[in-house]
Amino acid sequence: MKKVRAPGATALIVALIVGSAACSPASSSGTPATTITVGAASSLTDVFATIGEEFMADNPDITVTFSFAGSSAIAEQIRSGAPLDAFASAGTSSMDPLAAEGLVTDVTAFATNTLMIATPPGNPARITGLADLPRATVLVCQDQVPCGVAAAKLFELNGLDISPVSFEPDVVSVLGKIEADEADAGIVYVTDVLSSGDRVEGIAIPAGDNVTTTYQAAVVRDSAQADAAALFVSYLTGQQAQSAFAAAGFAAAP
């Protein structure tokens, strides 16, 4: 079993400025630089660091910054008028209502992800698969968060009667507690385990028993930089971004 490194609880990033271009008030052409802020699911933290740098290299007149949190929390921020230009969600449960309310436009699917069991290093509870979870202490994301929605579907699909010991705000918090050996197992995304190093161990879930989450991006209706935000959303489906998603363990959107 391959061991992987999980970020600690402090890895939840409220606002991340990607690349040195964020410090530059003007582009190389001398025109004022445009800055956009993208609210993004926590499970996109690592791959968006790469994609953000590549996007700015290809678009030197645009600086992109990210605010990472659970998708449901970002959706509420948008409803409250937070100054976000684009939204990248895990799952459709947070994006679809915003689209129905007319708060986002240009909704675009750009990747998919599946679930994996994460255990503390050494796997002290000897978890080998889903069948071991009913006897274990298990962490999941909160019910309204996409990773929590996916975990509930996973348990239902496989007929598992599980009472999680804690419901966390996002996958970063789940991984942080697993890293600290506060539970036997946590349900997170494959990409989170793969990007985590050696601080947790990952237990694969067979494809036929697993749940797929679709990631979507959209332009926030009230964005003052809607054109630049739309360019970023479109960029996520391009070859360079798709290569970054694939390297991080994401699959292509249907």
pLDDT in tens, 165-181: 999 998 889 999 999 99
The mean pLDDT value of the chain amounts to: 89
Rounded Cα–Cα distance for residues 222 and 150 (Å)? 30
* CATH match for 3-112+214-247 among 3.40.190.10, 3.60.150.10, 3.30.200.20, 1.10.8.640: 3.40.190.10
The pLDDT of residue 5 is above 80? no
pTM: 0.81
With a pLDDT cut of 70, the percent of the chain lying above it is 87
The pLDDT of residue 14 is above 90? no
Q: Say if residues 213 and 189 touch (Cβ distance below 8 Å).
A: yes
pLDDT band at 231 (very low <50, low <70, confident <90, very high): very high
Residue 32 has what pLDDT?
Answer: 59
As beta bridge partners, residue 182 has none
Q: What is the pLDDT averaged over residues 111-119?
A: 97
Of 73, 80, 20, 14, nearest to 45 by C-alpha is: 14
Q: Are 3-112+214-247 and 114-209 equal in CATH topology?
A: yes
Q: Say if residues 119 and 136 touch (Cβ distance below 8 Å).
A: no
Domain coordinates of the chain in residue numbers? 3-112+214-247, 114-209
Angle subtended at Cα 245 by Cα 208 and Cα 241, rounded to the nearest 5 degrees: 145
Q: Say if residues 245 and 88 touch (Cβ distance below 8 Å).
A: no
Scored b (16 or more CB within 10 A) or e, 62-96 reads bbbbbbbbbbbbbbebbeeeeebbbbbbbbbbbbe
Q: What is the pLDDT averaged over residues 120-136?
A: 96
**Cα four-point dihedral sign 107, 233, 246, 10:** negative
Residue 22 has what pLDDT?
Answer: 38
pLDDT band at 9 (very low <50, low <70, confident <90, very high): very low
pLDDT band at 195 (very low <50, low <70, confident <90, very high): confident
With a pLDDT cut of 90, the percent of the chain lying above it is 81
Rounded Cα–Cα distance for residues 139 and 206 (Å)? 20
The tokens describing 25, both together, are: 């008030």
Q: How many CB atoms lie within 10 A of CB 207?
A: 8
Q: What topology is assigned to 114-209 in CATH?
A: D-Maltodextrin-Binding Protein; domain 2 (3.40.190)
